[in-house]
Structure 1
Amino acid sequence: MALLSRRTTRVGSENLADTWEEVGSGGFGRVYKARHKDWGFDVAIKLLHNDVGTFMDEANHMDVVSCEYVLRVYGVFEGHPPFQKTLTQKGIVMEFVGRGSIQTLQRDLEGPPPLPLAFRLAHEVALGMNFLHLRNLMHSDLKPSNVLLNNDFHAKLADFGLSKVSYSAFNSNRETTKLVGGSYKYMPPEAFEVSYDPVRAFDVYSYGILLWSIVTGKEPYGEADYNLVALRISEGDRPDLSKIDQNKAEGLKELVDLMKRCWDMDPSKRPKFKECSGVTENLFSKHEKGIQKAVTNVLTRLPSSGVYSQTTEPTRPHDAMDNRVMKAEKSSAQDLLSVSTETMSDKDKAKFVDDNRAALIQSVSEVMAIAEKLGDMVHGETYSVINSTPTSQGQMRELFQRTLRSGGVKVKAAFYNILREDHPNLVESLS
Structure 2
Amino acid sequence: MSSVSRPAVKLGDDVLQDWKQIGRGGFGAVYCARQKDWCFDVAIKMLHTHNSDQLWKEAQAMTRACSPFVLRVFGVYRGIPPGSSRHECEGIVTEYMKRGTLESLLERLAGPPPWPLAFRLAQQLALGMNFLHTLSPPLLHRDLKPSNVLLDDHLDAKLADFGLSRVTNSHLNSSGTTTEDQAGTLVFTPPEAFDLSYKPVRAYDIYSYGIVIWSVFTGKKPYSGAMTSLVHLRVPLGDRPPTDEVDHSKADGLSDLKKLMVRCWDRDPDKRPSFGDCLEVTDGVDPRDEAAIRRAVDQVLSKLDSEMVPSCDIAHCHSTMKEDLHKKGPVDGVKLTKPLSIEEKAKFVDNHRANLIQKVSMVMAITERLGEMVHPETYSKIQANITDQDKLRVLYSTTLHSGGLRVKAAFYDALETHEPDLLADWASRLG
Q: Structure 1 stretches of 5 or more lacking a match?
A: 307-321, 376-381
TM-aligned CA deviation for residue 231 of structure 1: 1.5
Mapped to 1, the partners of 2:409 and 2:71 lie a distance apart of 37
The 1:94–1:289 alpha-carbon spacing in structure 2 relative to 1, beyond 3 Å, is same
The answer to whether the 8 Å contact 2:373/2:399 transfers is no
Counterparts of 1:170-209 in structure 2, within 5 Å, are 172-173=176-177, 179-180=183-184, 183-209=185-211
Deviations 1:359-388 (A, max 9, x none): 33643446489697489xxxxxx9599368
1:49 aligns with 2:48: yes
TM-aligned CA deviation for residue 357 of structure 1: 2.0
TM-aligned CA deviation for residue 284 of structure 1: 0.8
Counterparts of 1:122-137 in structure 2, within 5 Å, are 122-135=122-135, 136-137=138-139
- Asked which structure has the greater RCO (Cα within 8 Å, sep 6+), the reply is 1
Identity of aligned residues (%): 37
The answer to whether the 8 Å contact 1:171/1:177 transfers is no
Counterparts of 1:2-401 in structure 2, within 5 Å, are 5-17=5-17, 19-50=18-49, 53-59=52-58, 62=61, 64-84=64-84, 87-135=87-135, 136-160=138-162, 162-164=163-165, 172-173=176-177, 179-180=183-184, 183-285=185-287, 288-304=290-306, 339-341=339-341, 344=344, 347-360=347-360, 362-365=362-365, 367=367, 373=373, 386=381, 389-390=384-385, 393=388, 394-400=390-396
The answer to whether the 8 Å contact 1:371/1:383 transfers is no
Q: Structure 2 stretches of 5 or more lacking a match?
A: 323-335, 424-431
Mapped to 1, the partners of 2:372 and 2:79 lie a distance apart of 24
Q: Which has the larger radius of gyration?
A: 2
Mapped to 2, the partners of 1:395 and 1:285 lie a distance apart of 38
Mapped to 1, the partners of 2:151 and 2:382 lie a distance apart of 28
The answer to whether the 8 Å contact 2:227/2:386 transfers is no
- 357-366 or 226-235: which moved more? 357-366
TM-aligned CA deviation for residue 190 of structure 1: 0.4
Mapped to 1, the partners of 2:216 and 2:160 lie a distance apart of 16
The 1:64–1:345 alpha-carbon spacing in structure 2 relative to 1, beyond 3 Å, is closer
Mapped to 1, the partners of 2:302 and 2:413 lie a distance apart of 30
Deviations 1:46-92 (A, max 9, x none): 12111652312434555532111111010111111122266201111
TM-aligned CA deviation for residue 279 of structure 1: 1.1
TM-aligned CA deviation for residue 221 of structure 1: 0.8
The 1:119–1:60 alpha-carbon spacing in structure 2 relative to 1, beyond 3 Å, is closer
- 131-140 or 387-396: which moved more? 387-396
Matched position secondary structure for 1:163? coil
Mapped to 2, the partners of 1:388 and 1:170 lie a distance apart of 29
The answer to whether the 8 Å contact 1:114/1:294 transfers is yes
Mapped to 1, the partners of 2:130 and 2:370 lie a distance apart of 39
Deviations 1:134-188 (A, max 9, x none): 111111011111111111111111112x1215995898438876652xx110111
Matched position secondary structure for 1:238? coil
Counterpart of 2:25, as a letter, is G
The 1:414–1:299 alpha-carbon spacing in structure 2 relative to 1, beyond 3 Å, is same
The answer to whether the 8 Å contact 1:349/1:412 transfers is no
Counterpart of 2:408, as a letter, is Y
Instruction: Give the TM-score normalised by the residue count of structure 1.
Output: 0.80
